């Protein structure tokens, strides 16, 4: 199925850009009329993925992080967060709750757990030395649908 609207951002892997990335994605989704909760869920998941790219993908170096979002029929949103950093040796292990390679920075090791529980689908593809792409998917119910079911 073809996306009916897309966007793509590329920015330096500086931590100051974490807020920029999640806010830009949230603004892109606004025409879908998401609930406050849905916007927060997406912002949180994007923040986790972008932070991973900055903290782990480009540890001690600055590279480019690319965030793209596509809108499909039935209010399905697909977001990709991509880096060309060090990649993940063992994706299964990295996805385990509480696993972190940066405990000294108080990284809780819960980024993937948070993304998984807030989104409908999470895909992680990574090649050591080549980089990581995280794909997040979520169907937006919209305020109208939320109001209907509350009646």
Structure token pair of residue 106: 């108080």
Is 89 known to be catalytic? no
By the rule CB under 8 A, 117 interacts with other proteins: yes
**Binding test (CB under 8 A) with other proteins, winner from 106, 129, 144, 149:** 106
The DSSP annotation for 43-105 comes to: HHHHHHHHHHIIIIITTTS--EEEEEEEEEGGGEEEEEEEE-SS--S-HHHHTSTT--S-GGG
106 is catalytic: no
Residue 123 neighbours by CB under 8 Å, 6+ apart: 134, 135, 137
Give me the catalytic one of 76, 95, 107, 141. Answer: 107
Exactly one of 18, 22, 52, 84 is catalytic; name it.
Answer: 52
> Which stretch, 5-13, 50-58, 59-67, 122-130, contacts other proteins (CB under 8 A)?
50-58
40 binds other proteins (CB under 8 A): yes
Complex with other proteins: residue 77 or 114, whichever CB lies closer: 114
């Amino acid at each position: 199925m073809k996306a009916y609207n897309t966007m793509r951002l590329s920015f330096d892997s500086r931590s100051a850009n974490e807020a920029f990335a999640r806010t830009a994605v949230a603004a892109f989704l606004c025409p879908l009329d998401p609930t406050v909760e849905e916007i927060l869920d997406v912002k949180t998941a994007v923040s986790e993925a972008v932070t991973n790219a900055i903290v782990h993908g480009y540890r001690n170096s600055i590279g480019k992080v690319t965030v793209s979002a596509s809108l499909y029929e039935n209010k399905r949103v697909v977001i990709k967060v991509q880096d060309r950093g060090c990649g993940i040796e063992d994706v299964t292990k990295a996805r385990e709750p509480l696993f972190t390679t940066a405990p000294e920075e108080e990284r809780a090791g819960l980024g993937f757990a948070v993304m998984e529980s807030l989104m409908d689908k999470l895909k992680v593809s990574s090649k050591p030395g080549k980089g990581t792409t995280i794909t997040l998917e979520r169907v937006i119910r919209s305020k109208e649908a939320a109001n209907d079911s509350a009646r």
